[in-house]
Structure 1
């Protein structure tokens, strides 16, 4: 153990000393962490859930708050020594409420998936019916997938999209009135159009259901007014602080005008029931260092810089969608209204092959099932492309065309041998990788540039 000549009295001292100790005493781990930073610099992420956290957010997540156990809520802890934790959590709550215009906010959920489970556990009994978007049409595992907790613990009914890739609201209404679900879930992970929360609420009210909106993938657009907000429309809204908010991995539970409304069939208002859902019902002590990082991310999300970033996310998505269509690729729905582009592949190349081949060339992208797909999600027939990360590189429309051109040239050189096996000449692969690195050097990650 290193001998210190003076006390480490503040966050900067701890971080500086910690990094020095890590490099000196655990070179294996330090090398891996450095390699990951290098990988992120040299590769191009088109993953729809991907953003780079600002260094100040990384610093907050590495705070000494990690040493504190703090079960409960600010002012109502089960442990002592929580005065600074209370201040941090209260700050995060205040910022979440201000950013989204919510009356109630909980910042303790370890992830958006946890937040969804906590909300459902608070409002449902085992075997109750839920209506959520089918995974094959862009929904999330927690919205009722048969392979997830929600699909086995509850009776899950699933709605989908039309042939144009738009949510089939007529089907949603038909299923809601036929099955009378306790909860309707709206929101998606791979959906490129605006979600009509008002229409969902009208259906929920007609069916006597509670409406849960999951905005994890569009939280930044919602926060900056570039997508309609569900906060005062849905009874409850969940979100995460990574993805579009470019913060730490973690979840949020929010409620607007219904926060003080009594929950049908339960004792107490939504805010009261939701508060008990996180602790003690589903989660013990929160990761209070991550709450500090959430506070930092939420503060950043209220800045002009973040607003400009969300503007680039949208303009970049439109530019890339147009560039893919110009290359004769089918963009599901004919375009995008958020940051997501759903691409149907051609030439017998599966999503699995495309994602693997592109990764070898330094481009990260997620395979995704497109409409009409019959194969598993491990194979898929499309890609889900997002612009969160490239917007952080300030890639302009000309750069977007360069990125799309490179993606298309790589895929054109791939020879599929089966649904998951393919051939890409090593020489070509290396050439493409160097071209990707050149693009990354031309457009570096803005938040990872020093002053």
Structure 2
């Protein structure tokens, strides 16, 4: 390993940590506490992963000092010789990872990426067909709580009795409403998404197809889920959920990048390039772009495919173990990292289950399920994911132990209202002790983290 003692970059990072610790101990202590919390709790959050130190290091560099607007070679500020190279590198790595012909690495989030697509391809009032929030869709797919559901005429499709996407409904709604854009992808859907079938519907009604793969992008990169890159006109993703990267988003395109947008003289690539800047964003976060580039490099390594395989195997094991313990697992299982559980059949609400588990050091999130009588603040379901379990190196036996701990808590908690509950202190203490043991046996080891010095 090269000697870093004389590196200006390393010295700068070390100086920053030292100054923070000495000059602002209150904030430093909070950051230390959060680091310990993440290390010592058992997180099964489907919308999260853990970035390796080399990724987070990028976000603490001097790139954050550079103010500029525009794209490499066409900036609106001087002093961009180096950051242009950083962004070009991230773009090349994104294109290589996804097999894309176009990549925009500037979106500040997956939601921002979706907004750039929607607001550049649609006019206010145009029809947008997306998955209902209660069926597993995302806020940006047309929910009335989001700008996407207020500026456009939003039509929602759902799932059938088995919990799978109701393609008969998708086809009927598309023919009836003639949407200008169809969104496929979800934030709470545990099965494989048939992008080819969605494209066939979009082509039939003359709609643009947007695939949001924020939750499954790591599986797509690893070849463990079908890719939409050459099927959807545009693909978006966040970079922190399953790419083990920084907070941020990407816009990607395959063979449609050079085709013209319907009703326009501009191509999709030209339209989306100006959609991010100057339409919805100004100055890019260059330190985040560097971190995206680092994460995408790690995603191209063989170890990442092994990690993604653990994600899949862990989710299948978790779903089977919870079902064997008597829980209603939606759709009967999972094809990705996500497991959805209806806790109402155990006399609980999602908020009670979430809080009771958190009190024992197990982190999950409440989630609405189809036909849910409760709002998003209460819910009837839980959404669990295995991205973080996989980063701990957990194989099937350890995942089964995680499922047993979840069952132990949820079997012991007693609901006294929709939000009120009681859990015996002895159960809480015993589970917390076992969680601590599991975390010590399986420390977080994100891709490329290596061994501590």
Q: 1:360: which partner in 2?
A: 359
**1:28-39 alignment to 2 at 5 Å?**
28-39=26-37
Deviation track 1:142-197 (CA, whole Å, cap 9, x = no partner) reads 00001110111110000001111110011001001100011000000010000000
**Which segments of 5 or more consecutive residues in structure 1 lack a partner in the other structure?**
1-6
Deviation track 1:379-421 (CA, whole Å, cap 9, x = no partner) reads 1111111000000111111111111111101011101001111
- Say which is worse superposed, 392-401 or 367-376, in terms of deviation: 367-376
**CA positional deviation for 1:426:** 2.5
CA distance in 2, matches of 1:347, 1:156: 34
CA distance in 1, matches of 2:71, 2:6: 29
Q: 2:372: which partner in 1?
A: 373
2:84 matches 1:82: no
Q: 2:270: which partner in 1?
A: 272
Q: Is the 8 A contact 2:52 2:445 kept in 1?
A: no
Q: 1:240: which partner in 2?
A: 238
**CA positional deviation for 1:8:** 8.7
Q: Is the 8 A contact 1:8 1:14 kept in 2?
A: no
Q: 1:215: which partner in 2?
A: 213
TM-score w.r.t. structure 2 length?
Answer: 0.97
TM-score w.r.t. structure 1 length?
Answer: 0.97
Deviation track 1:261-311 (CA, whole Å, cap 9, x = no partner) reads 000012300000000000111100000000000000000000111111001
- Say which is worse superposed, 10-19 or 92-101, in terms of deviation: 10-19
Q: Is the 8 A contact 1:354 1:411 kept in 2?
A: yes
**1:331-346 alignment to 2 at 5 Å?**
331-345=329-343, 346=345
**1:173-184 alignment to 2 at 5 Å?**
173-184=171-182
Q: Is the 8 A contact 2:162 2:331 kept in 1?
A: yes
**CA positional deviation for 1:219:** 0.2
When the two chains are superposed, the root-mean-square deviation of aligned CA atoms in Å is 1.2
**CA positional deviation for 1:10:** 2.3
**1:13-28 alignment to 2 at 5 Å?**
13-28=11-26
CA distance in 2, matches of 1:380, 1:110: 29
CA distance in 1, matches of 2:406, 2:7: 49
**CA positional deviation for 1:9:** 5.9
Off by >6 Å, runs of 4+ in structure 1: none
**CA positional deviation for 1:427:** 3.0
Deviation track 1:334-387 (CA, whole Å, cap 9, x = no partner) reads 110010011111321100000000001000001112222121121111111100
